Structure 1
Amino acid sequence: MLSLPLACGTDEASIPAPGAYLRADGARCAEWAVRLGEKGRPRVGLVWSGNPGHRMDRYRSIACNMLKPLLLDGFEFVSLQKEVRPLDRLALQMDGVRQFGEYLRDFSDTAALVEQMDVVVTVDTSVAHLAGALGKPVWILLAGGTLVDWRWQMGREDSPGTRARVCTARRYRASGRRCWPGWRRTSPHSSGRRGERPAPPGRTAIG
């Protein structure tokens, strides 16, 4: 699969146009809208850790308390994680982050929950790509130096190789293994480049 761009002669100029190409199931979206209730503030979805069995997990996952500088007044914060470690769960409760892991039956539920957010802040996990595929503004916290996954490239904030998937993304690269000075000075309200959210024919439904 990763050799298809080479076989098709794809280069940076001919990458498919950006835009949402997935849509969450309508019934699930309605279900999650009811579960979340009326929205009185902008909603921010949070993902701070991925599969602990991943060989590079120690370089991409972070402790949830590292998100504390982001938890500003005037926003509603929602965990998008299905699995939450016990210590993280306690910390989230103290910080008022809403948790719905027990209701996330599958990735269709995750997609429907992401659709209820105004912006998603996540480490490099599948949710980052899901949010981009749905056309949702997303901040991606990446490891620093050579620890970052190859697809994000080096020395640039955008990633043309993944443009079609995450055209609405802002990438924050760590200055060290666990330090993202740029995003800590940024408010979720300034979610940056939202990009276009066209609904092209043939967009695939999840669910």
Structure 2
Amino acid sequence: MTPVATDPFPPAANQFTAFLRAAVSLDNAGLRGEALEALQEAEVLLPDRPESAFLLGGLYERFQYWAKAAVFYGKALQSKPEAPRVWHRLGIVHLHEGALPEALEALEEAVSQAPEVPDYATDLSMVLSRLGRFEEALGLVRVALTLRPDDIHALNNAGHVLQCLNRSAEAVGFYDAALLQSSSHPVIRFGRATALLKAGSFLEGWQEYEWRWQSSRMVRTDIEAPVWEGEDLQGRTILVHHEQGYGDTLHFIRLVSLLAARGACVVVQVPVPLVRLMERVEGVDRVFSVMPAEERFDYHCAMMSLPARLGLESNVVGPVPYLSVPDDEIIRQGNALRSVAQGNPARPDFIVGLVWGGDPRPHDLRATQTDRRRSISLKTLEPLFSVDGIRFVSFQMGMPRHQIEVTGLPLVEGTNDILDFQDTGARLYGVDLLITVDTSIAHLAGGLGLPVWMLSRADSCWRWGERGTQTGWYPTMRIFRQSRSGDWESVVETVCVALERLMDVYRSCQAASPAS
């Protein structure tokens, strides 16, 4: 008698597979909620097989439930750790979660187990770059390109990493090679734009920068007027609207005077904290934060599209200062801050404003990771407090303010009751120098024509170029750059030396003054 064959897939396993298929079908039909319910049913029936856990993790990854995906990829690896494909997917979901150390560990394991797979090396290079380990990232992406020379993702990563290494001209070459395969790839075109701008190729870079509308920005659809593409503005009204961060608007509001010079009536829409400051900019007719229903325009243009429309060719644009605050506010707020901070009036201390943290923007994962590289801990800045004759004033906003209490460093609080950027600007007149990381207050001080020392991460923003201590954007700014990613200690040492020299001059001037 012939024995009956055993079903290799028992009923529970078949039901598990059925729920997975149902989840895919429901999701394809646009029924995401029902699809997730099917996955939850599948969880209950999960067979004790690594392949099943991997499939379930893959569907949770598809639905962007990163934590759930990581759990089931982890289950798959418990019984079968030699699985580079699973390690790779685990690394990717950790990357999406923002868990960079965990992503690094998983992708390193994938590359270790399957060094011949270029995709693993490419994705590992991406994680390394987000951690600021750019030289290592470049080595990995070169390995990937050796294995697959025309890989579009590896070419794009190479461009990004070279740009972060301040080798932007080389980066453009890799972006160009990637675009031979997909000439309209928006992410690559936008990466190429920032590389061109960082390399100083402004005219072409600004034209390329318009690709952001297809890669990372949403075009406004609530304005009836057409987008301004360079048409004659004589006698026309144009709305210029805030688009990205506060710093971008503070940086490029200077260009509205060029629109006014063409005969335009310029209306500006910005967030509330910028309104009062923008009202005083030359060429601005009126400002609002919420667009009134009765407003009508002939054209509109996003703030960061003005350079392309105006054919900007350099970073020397118009007179500085182009921002201002009322004299009475300078007296009321700036002088009040100085009187609190100056110490002995007969021999006043030199007053330095300090900002050590940017906005982490937790809603934007990439921005959060960049902020970790651009921000400094207040503890790291402690050596500055050893320079004799300086009183420090905190202009720090947000969560990093708690570091003042933690460190116990002697800082005068300069932000109490600040309502907007005009208040901040008025108080900046109460200090002799601002030292800040690359955040919006650097643009505020620069636009006001006030002395500012900016501490820049190694992979500096495109607007600061690749090297040098000066920038055409702001004649009163001095840039202190990291020579190596993550190394703020050497930057602080350099700033300390500069402060010591500055204080020698300051005390010499005090000694020579007849009033001393």
Q: Pick the TM interval, shorter chain.
A: 0.7 to 0.9
Deviation at 1:86, TM superposition (A): 6.1
Q: Which whole-Å deviations, capped at 9, do the CAs of 1:74-133 have from their partners, x for residues lacking one?
A: 0111001233546412146x3211013332122111111111111110000010000011
The verdict on how the C-alpha distance between 1:48 and 1:153 changes in structure 2, with shifts beyond 3 A counting, is same
The verdict on how the C-alpha distance between 1:19 and 1:189 changes in structure 2, with shifts beyond 3 A counting, is farther
Tell me, in whole angstroms, the C-alpha distance in 1 between the residues paired with 2:487 and 2:417.
30
Supply the AA of the counterpart residue of 1:128: A
Alignment correspondent of 1:196: none
The verdict on how the C-alpha distance between 1:142 and 1:126 changes in structure 2, with shifts beyond 3 A counting, is same
1:40-189 aligned at under 5 Å gives the runs 40-53=348-361, 54-55=367-368, 56-71=370-385, 72-85=387-400, 87-91=402-406, 94-144=408-458, 147-160=459-472, 163=473, 166-176=474-484, 177-179=486-488, 180=491, 181-187=493-499
1:9-20 aligned at under 5 Å gives the runs 9-12=311-314, 15-20=316-321
In structure 2, runs of 5+ residues without a counterpart are 1-302, 343-347, 362-366, 504-516
Query: What is the TM-score with the length of structure 1 in the denominator?
Result: 0.77
The verdict on how the C-alpha distance between 1:86 and 1:78 changes in structure 2, with shifts beyond 3 A counting, is closer
1:31 aligns with 2:332: yes
Q: Is the 8 A contact 2:383 2:496 kept in 1?
A: yes
Q: Is the 8 A contact 1:124 1:140 kept in 2?
A: yes
Deviation at 1:149, TM superposition (A): 0.8
Supply the AA of the counterpart residue of 1:101: T
Deviation at 1:158, TM superposition (A): 2.5
Q: Is the 8 A contact 1:84 1:101 kept in 2?
A: no
Query: What is the TM-score with the length of structure 2 in the denominator?
Result: 0.33
Tell me, in whole angstroms, the C-alpha distance in 2 between the residues paired with 1:98 and 1:123.
18
Deviation at 1:35, TM superposition (A): 4.6
Supply the AA of the counterpart residue of 2:311: G
Supply the AA of the counterpart residue of 1:178: D
The verdict on how the C-alpha distance between 1:108 and 1:188 changes in structure 2, with shifts beyond 3 A counting, is farther
Tell me, in whole angstroms, the C-alpha distance in 2 between the residues paired with 1:35 and 1:137.
17
Which of the two has greater helix per residue?
A: 2
SS state at 1:185 partner: helix
Alignment correspondent of 1:198: none
1:4 aligns with 2:306: yes
Count of aligned positions: 183
Which of the two has greater strand per residue?
A: 1
The verdict on how the C-alpha distance between 1:105 and 1:3 changes in structure 2, with shifts beyond 3 A counting, is closer
**Is 59-68 or 150-159 further displaced after alignment?**
150-159
The verdict on how the C-alpha distance between 1:84 and 1:117 changes in structure 2, with shifts beyond 3 A counting, is farther
Identity %: 32
Supply the AA of the counterpart residue of 1:167: P
Supply the AA of the counterpart residue of 2:483: S
Aligned alpha-carbon RMSD (Å): 2.4
Bigger radius of gyration: 2
Tell me, in whole angstroms, the C-alpha distance in 2 between the residues paired with 1:18 and 1:154.
24
SS state at 1:102 partner: coil
Supply the AA of the counterpart residue of 1:11: E
Kindly indicate whether structure 1 or structure 2 has the higher relative contact order, using CA contacts under 8 Å at least 6 residues apart. 1
Q: Is the 8 A contact 1:82 1:102 kept in 2?
A: no
Tell me, in whole angstroms, the C-alpha distance in 2 between the residues paired with 1:46 and 1:122.
6
